[in-house]
Amino acid sequence: MMRSVELPLWLFVLIVLFAAVTFASHFLFPSVRWFFRRRLERAVSRLNERLTRPIEPFKLARRHDMIQRLIYDPEVTEAIVQHADENNVPENVAFEQARRYAREIVPSFSAFAYFSFGARVARWLATALYDVRTGLNNDQQIQSVDPDATVVFVMNHRSNMDYVLVTYLAARASALSYAVGEWARVWPLSRLIKSMGAYFIRRRSRGALYRKVLSRYVRMATAGGVTQAIFPEGGLSVNGQLMPLKMGLLSYVVDGYDPSKRDVVFVPVAINYDRVLEDRVLIAADKRGDRRFGVSITVVMAAILRLLWQWITRRYRKFGTASVVFGPPVSLAALGQDRDLDQLAETLRGRIQDVMPVPFVPLLARMFLQTDTPIPDTDMTHRIKTAMPSERGTRPPLTDDDLSNRISRALGDMERRGMIHWIDNGWAKVSDEQDLFRFYANSIDDLYPDSITPEDAARAKS
């Protein structure tokens, strides 16, 4: 037993490494994980003290545990067996497919990543690109909701900046869990988005097994009180209009409601911009009749570098106003037993439409579409006052000087974009930009029903 044994150096090093890894995995790593998890729990407790809606334990559960809970759910297990029978594959193959779906959907939320990084970046980016304006009653709408209820923000989808704006504005209330499309499933963006608590959805998937896994996750999150944010239009609006709401995620949330437990409250959110960053890409997709938003990474990088150069040379100007207004909430408990999904979707769409902000560029775009003659500067303020809907806006009524300054700024932005030019002592629209005018005017056309053409109405229903 005490005799010496000769070993090659490489084998001795390998044995030591194996021993070190075994020691760390059995003794050191669990202790380290416990230490950091305890620190995280204390940090989250302090964070919850200042949030209007504290982060629920469901959102803080380990991702591995959530995946296991999801794929072993009785309804998912039944769907796995059915999928195996219908597709003539072994059940273990169907089970692994369900596991892949679950790993794809379930986020890995990090409170540190969300509040220390994500919310701060969202605030910086939103305020760097836009003058952000909010509804007068935004805070009151959130505070009026039952603290124990599950809150679901239901938003119109104008731009990918919507995620940034609402994350920034809702950061004082809670951490949002977004339903994100397949566009974000690229590394390393996907890892960052998952750490922010978002979950990916395949909008074009028709597989029953995938839909069951997704629906069960949404229902579990709803029952667990997770604050969610969804875009039920099914994607970005390619023509600027508020599209009919689709039932997919809405139906999953409603299915997850248990009247004997916590209420589910939908908060309508209306978002509008003086400038949508992707406007020309969306218009081109609308003309083609598809939803392929082919944007070259070189074009994006060139735009970012151009903005940086403008900032360095002190010629940078923001893209106008971005407005976010919260509408009156809709409680499932208040609806009682008569919860018709179509009626709920119509109610939510109507409330988004009712509080839709009216930035000056869409208002001017609508005004220019109504005339082929130049509009004198002297008539501009009067026409805007006449066209502006009553009792609407995200701030108290503007004074004449403020109104004149806002109009001048919007006209300057439109001129720099090549939408209008000065001619014959007045502002005239550039005829080649008719589609751009229509895109922005569409965002507020619901407020002027007589201005919607039959072609626009037919397109909105398609």
Please name the residues in contact with 387: beta carbons below 8 A apart, sequence gap of 6 or more.
Answer: 363, 366, 367
Q: Are residues 292 and 419 in the same domain?
A: no
User: pLDDT value at position 293?
Assistant: 65
> Within a domain: residue 271?
yes
Highest mean pLDDT among 41-55, 169-183, 396-410, 442-456: 396-410
Number of domains in the chain: 2
> Within a domain: residue 144?
yes
pLDDT digits (tens, 9 = 90+) for 185-205: 555 556 666 666 777 787 666
pLDDT digits (tens, 9 = 90+) for 54-111: 667 677 677 888 889 999 999 999 999 999 999 898 999 999 999 999 988 888 777 7
Task: Tell me the mean pLDDT in the region 239-263.
Answer: 87
Pairwise CA distance, residues 65 & 56, whole Å? 16
Q: Helix (H, G, I), strand (E, B), or coil: what is residue 55?
A: coil
Q: Which domain holds residue 344?
A: 108-211+227-250+263-354
> Within a domain: residue 241?
yes
b vs e for 392-418, b when ≥16 Cβ sit within 10 Å of the residue's Cβ? ebbeeeeeeeebeebbebbbebbeebe
Among 306, 335, 354, residue at a domain's last position: 354
pLDDT digits (tens, 9 = 90+) for 332-358: 988 877 778 889 999 999 999 989 999
Q: In sequence order, what are the beta bridge partners of 314? A: none
Q: Are residues 349 and 364 in the same domain?
A: no
CA–CA distances in Å: residue 155 to residues 173, 338, 350, 356: 17, 24, 12, 11
Q: Are residues 199 and 315 in the same domain?
A: yes
Angle, CA of 77, 78 and 81, to the nearest 5°: 90
Among 354, 388, 415, residue at a domain's last position: 354
Q: Are residues 382 and 302 in the same domain?
A: no
What is the DSSP code (8-state) at residue 116? I
Assign 267 a pLDDT band (cuts: 50, 70, 90): very high
Residue 456 confidence (pLDDT) above 70: no
CA–CA distances in Å: residue 192 to residues 201, 298, 310, 338: 16, 22, 28, 40
Q: Are residues 282 and 179 in the same domain?
A: yes
Assign 118 a pLDDT band (cuts: 50, 70, 90): confident
Q: Are residues 273 and 296 in the same domain?
A: yes
Nearest to 266 by CA among 145, 147, 154: 154
Q: Are residues 188 and 244 in the same domain?
A: yes
Q: Are residues 158 and 183 in the same domain?
A: yes
> Within a domain: residue 103?
no
Q: Are residues 364 and 350 in the same domain?
A: no
Task: Tell me the mean pLDDT in the region 251-268.
Answer: 88
pLDDT digits (tens, 9 = 90+) for 159-177: 888 888 888 887 777 777 8
Pairwise CA distance, residues 197 & 390, whole Å? 39
Average pLDDT of every residue of the chain = 81
Pairwise CA distance, residues 221 & 59, whole Å? 8
> Within a domain: residue 404?
yes
Choose between 270 and 450: higher pLDDT: 270
Residue 354, phi then psi, degrees to nearest 5: -65, -30
CATH of the domain at 383: 1.10.10
pLDDT digits (tens, 9 = 90+) for 16-36: 777 776 665 555 555 555 555
Percent of the chain past pLDDT 90, that is, above it, reads 26
Among 354, 369, 384, residue at a domain's last position: 354
CATH of the domain at 140: 3.40.1130
> Within a domain: residue 29?
no
> Within a domain: residue 28?
no
Q: Are residues 375 and 335 in the same domain?
A: no
b vs e for 60-70, b when ≥16 Cβ sit within 10 Å of the residue's Cβ? beeeeebbebb
Q: Are residues 291 and 326 in the same domain?
A: yes
Q: Are residues 236 and 338 in the same domain?
A: yes
